[in-house]
Homo-oligomer: A and B are copies of this chain.
């Protein structure tokens, strides 16, 4: 009579690194640097190296922006330290014609899809060259040339958009896939439920990619839901839900590929739960020591996705410690140069504030614009 009667771990306890070794969690990278051949997505070496470099860039960028924020040079930052494999592995699977709907930690994916680093940094400074014209907070970049949706602070609102895009593609007889990122906390939102349900009913090609970093600001996963896992929530919508080691780039690629194939082939949506951990504060506005102990964090730092990929590359013999050091230096330099190039650009022009509310400026915005300008 009970639909749910199998024994399982107590969802009221936090996930431990050991839990990632559970049989239902897809892993590829082993501690010794080898890849489990049963699930290895067999990524080409040049792509592996490019992905590795992008992970390093992503990490370095995050570190640098936090510093700039502390120095008062940037207003706010929210990054993906420790979650790079989840972000970049999934984005890697997506084709040029596919669409990505980031939450707000997926800057690496945006860069991968062609947003120039300088333009990204313009968004950090909210200046005149910011592609969103200084209108949103930093880390709310948009990059239409890469089919990257507009980032919104209200959580999970992008999920139904990803459903709508994939649905529209199907109606237009295209096989374009849409992937939406979101966090574990966001599974509690209205939009998670609605988007999953619509996607299930209409069998649209959407990938729901959940970065389960186990925290929603100060609220741990165990207080977010009593379900056994996040992946299991897929059952409520008649779609498959998969769990994957989110710090394992190859596993993330493998899981996302499977979901992508389903989507492309008209078999419908998939929920991917990438298990990872938010090793830093939520954003530059947060201080996690107010609500969690450092020793909970430590074991997860051991599973750092960059370390793990590096181990694999060294094992494969396609990368050396020297190359590693050199490329890290290059990246630092690249970021420094790009920052220097854009940091002192002027703010957006006052009159730009009145554009883009509508396609054309109606009389009231024209009037407000005139008033604002006359005041200058």
Q: Chain A residues in contact with chain B, CB under 8 A?
A: 1-5, 11, 24, 26, 188, 190, 192-194, 197, 200-201, 203, 223-229, 231-243, 255, 268
Complex contacts, A193 vs chain B, CB 8 Å: 188, 190, 192-193
A3-B188 in contact given A193-B193, A200-B225, A226-B201 (Cβ < 8 Å): no
Q: Of the candidates B4, B229, B238, B255, which one forms a contact with A11 in the assembled complex, judged by CB atoms under 8 Å apart?
A: B238
How many subunits of this chain does the assembly comprise? Answer: 2
Give the docked Cα–Cα distance between A220 and B7 (Å).
34
With A190-B194, A235-B235 already in contact, the answer to whether A1 and B242 are too (CB < 8 A) is yes
State the Cβ distance, A257 to closest chain B Cβ, in Å. Answer: 12
Most buried by B among A3, A201, A228, A232: A3
Contact A235:B238 (CB < 8 A) given known A1-B26, A190-B190, A203-B226: no
Q: Are B227 and A4 in contact (CB under 8 A)?
A: no
Q: Which 10 A-B pairs have the closest CB atoms?
A: A226-B238, A193-B193, A200-B226, A190-B190, A233-B236, A236-B236, A3-B241, A227-B238, A4-B235, A2-B240
State the CA gap A235–B241 with chains docked (Å). 13
Whether the pair B200, A240 counts as a contact (CB closer than 8 A) is: no
A1-B26, A190-B190, A190-B193 as given contacts; A228 in contact with B235, CB under 8 Å: yes
Chain B CB within 10 A, most for which of A2, A194, A240: A2
Q: Are A242 and B3 in contact (CB under 8 A)?
A: yes
Contact B3 A235 (CB under 8 A): yes
- In the bound complex, residues from chain B placing their C-beta under 8 Å from that of A237 are 225-227
Chain B residues with CB under 8 Å of A234's CB are: 3-4
A195 → chain B closest CB, angstroms = 11
- Residue contacts A-B, CB under 8 angstroms, 23 given: A1-B26, A1-B242, A1-B255, A2-B242, A3-B231, A3-B234, A3-B240, A4-B235, A4-B238, A4-B241, A5-B240, A188-B193, A201-B223, A225-B237, A226-B237, A226-B268, A227-B236, A227-B238, A228-B238, A232-B236, A233-B236, A235-B236, A236-B236
* Apart from A225-B237, A226-B237, A226-B238, 19 more pairs, CB < 8 Å: A1-B26, A1-B243, A3-B24, A3-B231, A3-B235, A3-B241, A3-B243, A4-B241, A188-B194, A190-B190, A197-B226, A200-B226, A203-B226, A227-B235, A227-B237, A227-B238, A228-B235, A233-B236, A235-B236
CB-CB under 8 A from A228, the residues of chain B are 235, 238
Interchain CA distance A223-B198 in the complex, whole Å: 9
Considering the complex, give the chain B residue whose CB is closest to the CB of A222.
B201
Complex Cα spacing A2 to B224, Å? 22
Q: Which residues of B contact A236 (CB under 8 A)?
A: 225, 227, 232-233, 235-236
- Return chain B residues, CB-CB under 8 Å to A268: 226
How many angstroms between the C-alpha atoms of A229 and B241 in the bound complex?
17
CB distance from A237 to the nearest CB of B (A): 6
Tell me, rounded to whole Å, the shortest Cβ–Cβ distance linking A267 to chain B: 12
Q: Which residues of B contact A11 (CB under 8 A)?
A: 238
User: Which single residue of chain B is at the shortest CB-CB distance from A24?
Assistant: B1
Residue of B nearest to A199 (CB): B226
Residues of B within 8 A of A233 (CB): 235-236
Nearest-Cβ distance from residue A280 to partner chain B, whole angstroms: 25
Q: How far is the CA of A111 from the CA of B237 in the complex (A)?
A: 36
User: Among the listed B5, B188, B229, B239, which residue makes an inter-chain contact with A226, where contact means beta carbons less than 8 Å apart?
Assistant: B239
**Closest chain B residue to A241 by CB distance?**
B3
The residue from B2, B3, B5, B241 contacting A2, defined by CB atoms under 8 A apart? B241
Report how far A192 CA is from B193 CA in the complex, Å: 9
